Structure formats: structure tokens, C-alpha cells
């Protein structure tokens, strides 16, 4: 262990975090590695690619604790590789420089389009239980005119829920084209609505398993519900298909027993080492589920006609 990690151990909280991680790792090692050790002969080191922004606030000592926990659980050395952008993550994963990566939804779709060489093995769960989101068009409840006659606000052209998914629906005939008004930000979208300058707006709502995905109180995740409630009630006119959150994905060439061990380690992390989960999954803190192989089919159209780097540069929602 490096000197910086030893120094960090003097902190009581971090010492408990480290011990919890190693306890979870030891359990994982006993249950996943001892019975199946074949992958340790073919995988000398597992490199995990993450985008810099995901772990920007994490100090090196805590990352070393994550390295140590994964290494102990898997029985192979693990290295976390920070990437400056999703474009860099695509390059690294498609070329095999990292075997495991935490993707955005579009960077996963772009990587799969580039090489066909990766598979999603876990999808993160948000604190509210959602595993994805939907793009929606919401309007004032009293509006009865056709969509083509409505003034509809959106944030920016790099918004997935506000621009790319609606544009895809318009191109394929799933949605009539409204009179679009560029706002520049989510806050500006809400301001335009409150000022009655638009009839409605494009937004996103979280999607949970078994949820119909039609609760307008959850627009933009519900964080600005009070500002929206100050204006007229909303009604949902259109909703996209479910878009899953960005997955944890591995190269298809990685041994199945290694992927099984990784999945088991992630599954136990929320209950047995929540401190590690806070470091490794700072955005979605509700644990993980195993995705259906078809879960990411709906996002393929988001990267059609775009180079991998362009597709990867899009924000999460």
C-alpha cells in the first residue's frame, strides 16, 4: 500500500470505510474466487475506466481503497483509469485498453456501435428506485390545440431528453413537430413556462420498474416542482420509451466467471460497504440491477449517423 493510503488510514471514518470494503471484498473472494480461479490465469490485471468528472472530488487515498477492495474480491490486480471525457472512454474500451467501464447511456451505445465488443452487466439504481428515464412533452392542462401549433421550449441542442430524443421521434413520425423555442437551460425553460411565453416544454421523468412513467410531478426529477407548481397545471402529451441509465459494461472477451464475480461484488456493495458505493457510484446511490440484453436497444438511434466522439460528448439527460 502506498504512503498516501497509509496516511489516510489515520482518519477514523476512512479506516472504517476501508475495513468495510475489505470485509466485503473478503466475502466476495471466498464465494466467487476460490471456487473459480481460471480467469486469474488469463487476466493479469483488470483496468476499470471511469470519466474524470465522476470521481473528480475523490482523493487518491480513497481510490486506492476502491482498488484494494476490488483486487481482494477478484483475486487479480485492479487499476482505476480516469478518462478526461466519454470520447476517451469509448476509445479506451473499444480498443481493449480497459476491460470494464462505467458508461453513460450514449457512450455505451456509441462503443457498441464502434466495436460490437462490450456488454452491459449491471445498471445503476437511483436513490428514488428509478433505473432510467423518459423524455416527455408536457403542456398546460387547458391546451387543446394540435402539437404542430404549440410553442414548446427546450433547454439546449445537447440535451438528450430535451432535444435528441424528441428530434428522433419527429424524424420517425412518432411526434409532430411543434414550434420550438430555445431556452438555454432547464431554469430558463421553467421561466418561459411561468411567464406564459410557451405552451409547454420537453423534459424528462425518472422511470422505475413497474412504473407507468406518467407522473408529471416528477418532471426534471421533481427537484423544481415548486417552481412549476406556481404556474398552471401540467398535462403529458407525449412520452418516449424508457431510456436506461448508463451501465457498467465489460468487454465480451472477459471470462464469464470474472464478470460473475464483478456483478456479485457490486450487488453486495450497498448493504455491506455503502462507503465504497458512495465513492464508486456518486450519482446513483441505490445499488444495481442486472439489465435485460434488450434494455439499451432504444438508445441506438441516438448515435446513428454520429461519430463515436460526437455521440459520447452528449450529456446524461
Q: Does 56 lie in the same domain as 39?
A: yes
Residue pair 13/45 in contact (Cβ under 8 Å)? The answer is no
Instruction: Report how far residue 315's alpha carbon sits from residue 305's, in angstroms, rounded to the nearest whole number.
Output: 18
Tens digits of residue pLDDT in 272-292? 888 888 888 878 889 999 998
Q: Is 167 left (phi over 0), alpha (psi -120 to 50) or beta?
A: alpha
Of 145, 273, 258, 128, the C-alpha closest to 205 is 128
The parent domain of residue 175 ranges over: 132-243
Q: What does residue 265 show for φ and ψ, rounded to 5 degrees?
A: -65, -45
Q: Does 9 lie in the same domain as 102?
A: yes
Q: Does 176 lie in the same domain as 151?
A: yes
Q: Does 164 lie in the same domain as 256?
A: no
Domain boundary among the residues 197, 219, 243 is at 243
Looking at the 3D structure of the chain, how many domains does it have? 2
Tens digits of residue pLDDT in 120-159? 999 999 988 999 999 999 999 999 999 999 999 999 998 8
What does DSSP say about strands 100-102 and 46-51: parallel, antiparallel, or unpaired? parallel
Instruction: Report how far residue 120's alpha carbon sits from residue 247's, in angstroms, rounded to the nearest whole number.
Output: 6
Q: Does 265 lie in the same domain as 225?
A: no
Q: Does 154 lie in the same domain as 81?
A: no
Per the domain annotation, does 174 fall within a domain? Answer: yes
Instruction: Report how far residue 53's alpha carbon sits from residue 85's, in angstroms, rounded to the nearest whole number.
Output: 8
Q: Does 121 lie in the same domain as 266?
A: yes
Average pLDDT over residues 188-202: 95
Average pLDDT over residues 190-194: 93
Domain boundary among the residues 243, 267, 288 is at 243
CATH code of residue 44: 3.40.190.10
Per the domain annotation, does 317 fall within a domain? Answer: no
Amino acid at each position: 500500500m502506498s504512503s498516501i493510503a497509509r496516511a489516510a488510514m489515520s482518519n477514523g471514518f476512512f479506516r472504517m470505510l476501508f475495513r468495510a470494503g475489505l470485509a466485503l471484498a473478503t466475502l466476495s473472494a471466498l464465494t466467487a474466487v476460490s471456487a473459480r480461479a481460471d480467469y486469474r490465469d488469463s487476466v493479469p490485471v483488470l483496468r476499470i475506466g471511469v470519466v474524470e468528472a465522476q470521481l473528480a472530488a475523490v482523493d487518491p487515498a480513497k481510490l486506492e481503497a476502491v482498488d484494494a477492495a476490488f483486487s481482494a474480491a477478484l483475486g487479480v490486480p485492479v487499476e482505476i483509469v480516469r478518462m478526461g471525457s466519454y470520447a476517451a472512454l469509448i476509445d479506451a474500451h473499444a480498443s481493449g485498453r480497459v476491460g470494464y467501464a462505467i458508461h453513460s447511456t450514449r457512450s455505451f451505445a456509441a462503443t457498441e456501435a464502434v466495436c460490437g465488443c462490450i456488454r452491459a452487466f449491471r445498471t445503476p439504481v437511483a436513490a428514488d428506485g428509478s433505473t432510467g428515464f423518459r423524455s416527455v412533452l408536457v403542456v398546460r392542462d387547458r391546451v387543446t390545440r394540435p402539437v404542430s401549433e404549440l410553442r414548446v421550449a427546450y433547454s439546449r441542442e445537447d440535451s438528450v431528453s430535451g432535444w435528441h430524443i424528441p428530434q428522433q421521434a419527429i424524424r420517425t413520425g412518432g411526434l409532430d413537430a411543434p414550434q420550438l423555442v430555445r431556452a438555454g437551460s432547464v431554469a430558463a425553460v421553467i421561466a418561459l413556462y411561468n411567464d406564459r411565453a410557451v405552451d409547454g416544454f420537453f423534459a424528462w421523468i425518472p422511470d422505475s420498474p413497474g412504473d407507468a412513467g406518467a407522473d408529471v410531478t416528477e418532471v426534471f426529477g421533481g427537484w423544481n416542482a415548486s417552481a412549476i407548481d406556481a404556474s398552471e397545471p401540467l398535462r403529458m402529451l407525449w412520452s418516449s420509451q424508457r431510456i436506461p441509465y448508463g451501465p457498467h459494461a465489460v468487454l465480451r472477451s472477459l471470462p464469464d466467471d470474472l464478470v460473475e464475480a464483478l456483478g456479485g461484488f457490486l450487488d453486495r456493495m450497498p448493504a455491506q460497504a455503502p462507503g465504497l458505493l458512495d465513492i464508486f457510484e456518486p450519482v446513483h446511490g441505490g445499488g444495481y440491477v442486472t439489465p435485460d440484453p434488450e434494455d439499451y436497444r432504444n438508445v441506438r438511434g441516438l448515435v446513428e449517423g454520429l461519430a463515436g466522439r460526437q455521440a459520447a460528448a452528449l450529456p446524461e439527460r
